[in-house]
Structure 1
């Protein structure tokens, strides 16, 4: 599509190959002539939680400079921009072919590997910063449970509450039953207050279906969103949590299903290596709208 300012804006949904699923993001592949205010205005016009802007492009070296904006402000990669990064990586791979890309972002250099799977669909793999995880303190846990309306007895004792880090912090709570995860009706303002006090980006609620398969929901009231349908940053932190607990004894890939209970199913593939503090998160992306003009000048 072309915005009201004449700039080509692509719309993709990340962590899904179905346009009805995943987490939508905006992508502007030629933002070289846009200043900060125009990028912020475009992000507000698009209305998604994240829009990525390619401000410099070197297709020959497969290196690109990215900035990320929410409708309200600029965000750096580690804040919450994995969705827009996956969308941008797939958009670029569609134009210049799959392979490794390097994104220069306000948070530093981000290598992203793009490839086609057996069905021909493109996906992108991001590598997190070193992850870490610690047990949640009683006061933290009690405040979060009160805001959620959950009880301690509804938690899975085999997956203890932790605060996990994969660029930003997330409280990880594991429900003992799928029905508990499905029934999410929390106090928006109370949980936002708890999260601001403790510096959590999301609360990562999970249920373990199998050792390598989890279902997740991510309340995101601090971002003004009741729930996020796909959260790459939380998935990376969760991978570090599993490694810290010793639940991954050898290099393995874990599937995280998210967004199902809100009607936007997403799938995040989380690669964990016990010997590596970094975690790799892979997801597909698919275009939601075909641009009305031929590809952008930058690529």
Structure 2
């Protein structure tokens, strides 16, 4: 049997060499789970596999998502990249889509200039207790002086990330944690990754972060959409960004609201930027530039 082609796009790009690579198979209807995982392992990145929807699914298509180490329920950059690629190849019947994933139905939309945004649900936040927060700080090789004096939190829209506010970009740049230690503390925190972040320009709603995943099969991620979406809720709770009047609901439309911008990947030489907008009636839109 001929193996289906793998297309690689780069999602959330913010300069030469930037973005998070996303290997995508546009017709994975005959692929087994083992074959999908093998593609992710061979490419070394989270990968997406488009499969047909069932007649009663009420979705445009289904998307399976694999890390090199395991299947996952949701991946923001791969979902954005898949919709962008299908639009570029003329494979979409609509600019307003419903995509079936293991985490539920994800809405996506394509703007007039071809930019893709996907919806994420309202975020949930939980501050870590002091002993667990200390374990997270130690796993990153940090001291109390390296922190910004804001809570260390678990935050989630689709997958739980641990948000660690840092005192300066220099502290963020110098991070070089040990992956097994990151995995161990993520297990304790019931988190899928550590997401240390800093304020770059509060007035411009510009922030920077790095993502050290728990068990992805690689030590750092160049751009993590679901983590940036979760960070937006941490920023809102800390009073660093304006948000919907009730904290979750009534928000400006994505077409007119200034986005929260989260830069990532610079320390890896893969500059990326994720843009987050509040969404009615709840949740956020996340998007950014994509290139082939």
- Shorter-chain TM-score: what band? 0.7 to 0.9
| TM-align CA RMSD | 2.3
Q: Which residue in the other structure is 1:259 paired with?
A: 265
- Ranges of 4+ aligned residues in structure 1 off by more than 6 Å: none
How does 1:104-115 map onto structure 2 within 5 Å?
104-115=100-111
Partner of 2:142: 150
Superposed CA offset, 1:2-38 (max 9, x none): xx94311101111116561111111111112223333
Output one character per residue of 1:212-267: Cα deviation in whole Å (capped at 9) or x when no partner: 00011111243232211100110010011122233333455211110011100000
Higher relative contact order (CA 8 A, sep 6+): 1
1:216 — aligned with what? 209
SS at match of 1:228: coil
Q: Which residue of 2 aligns with 1:190?
A: 181
| 8 Å CA contact retained: 2:50, 2:63 | yes
Q: TM-score, normalised by structure 1?
A: 0.83
Q: 1:236 aligns with which of 229, 239, 243?
A: 229
Q: Greater shift after overlay, 131-140 or 238-247?
A: 238-247
Partner residue in 2 for 1:284: 289
Residue 69 (structure 1) aligned with residue 66 (structure 2): yes
Is 1:102 paired with 2:98?
A: yes
Structure having the higher strand fraction is 1
Sort the Cα spacing of 1:156 and 1:258 in 2 relative to 1 into closer, same or farther, 3 A: same
* CA distance 1:110–1:257, shift in 2 (3 Å): same
Contact map agreement 2:52 2:61 (CA 8 A) in 1: yes
CA apart distance, 1:206: 0.9
8 A Cα contact 1:240 1:278, kept in partner: no
Match of 2:240 among 247, 252, 268: 247
Q: State the TM-score, normalizing by the size of structure 2.
A: 0.85
The alpha-carbon distance between structure 1 residues 138 and 277, as it changes in their structure 2 partners (threshold 3 A), is farther
Alignment gaps of 5+ in structure 2: 244-251, 253-257
Structure 1 stretches of 5 or more lacking a match? Answer: 288-299
